[in-house]
């Protein structure tokens, strides 16, 4: 047996979670929302809409567009997005640790056949 959970931040709808975190991390690594979406197997149009919705709910921009230059532009994350990601990373680590510990405490001894 194992424990499964899904967790997200909400402000009038989903505002941040593992999916958006991965997408922003991809943008940070690849300097491109297009490439980041592709890497996650997500349509660019879907990724773009997601970012729009999250930015509206959060009240600040997550991405800024780099125009021109030798690489022909691209996207990068804003300082606010970077800050949110850092908080979220620490939050996720603490959640993971606490959840594992609590699961072990209450169900750790329950192997198959011992559950009765």
Cβ–Cβ < 8 Å for 99, 5: yes
Task: Indicate the residue among 46 and 90 with the shorter CB distance to a second copy.
Answer: 90
Shortest spacing between CB 73 and a second copy, in angstroms: 25
Which letter does DSSP use for residue 56 in this model?
H
**Residue 65 corresponds to which tokens in the numbers above?**
């567009």
Shortest spacing between CB 2 and a second copy, in angstroms: 5
Shortest spacing between CB 61 and a second copy, in angstroms: 10
Q: Which residues, 6 or more positions from 43, have their beta carbon under 8 angstroms from its beta carbon?
A: 37
Task: Indicate the residue among 5 and 70 with the shorter CB distance to a second copy.
Answer: 5
The span from the CA of 30 to the CA of 102, in Å, is: 37
Kindly list the residues in this chain that would bind a second copy in the complex (CB under 8 A).
Answer: 1-11, 14-15, 58-60, 80, 83-84, 87-88, 90-91, 94-95, 98-99, 102-103, 105-107, 110, 112-113, 115-116
Q: Which residues, 6 or more positions from 44, have their beta carbon under 8 angstroms from its beta carbon?
A: 33, 34, 37, 38
Task: Indicate the residue among 7 and 43 with the shorter CB distance to a second copy.
Answer: 7
Shortest spacing between CB 13 and a second copy, in angstroms: 10
Task: Indicate the residue among 29 and 91 with the shorter CB distance to a second copy.
Answer: 91
Q: Which three-class secondary structure state does DSSP give residue 113? A: coil
């Amino acid at each position: 047996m194992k424990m499964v959970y899904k967790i997200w931040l909400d402000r009038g709808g989903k505002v941040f979670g593992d999916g958006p975190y991965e997408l922003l991390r991809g943008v940070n690594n690849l300097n491109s929302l297009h490439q980041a979406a592709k890497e996650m197997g997500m349509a660019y149009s879907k990724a773009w809409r997601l970012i729009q919705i999250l930015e509206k709910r959060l009240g600040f921009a997550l991405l800024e567009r780099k125009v021109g230059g030798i690489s022909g532009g691209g996207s990068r994350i804003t300082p606010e997005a970077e800050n949110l990601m850092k908080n979220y990373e620490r939050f996720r680590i603490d959640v993971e640790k606490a959840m594992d510990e609590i699961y072990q405490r209450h169900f750790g001894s329950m192997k198959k056949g011992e559950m009765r």
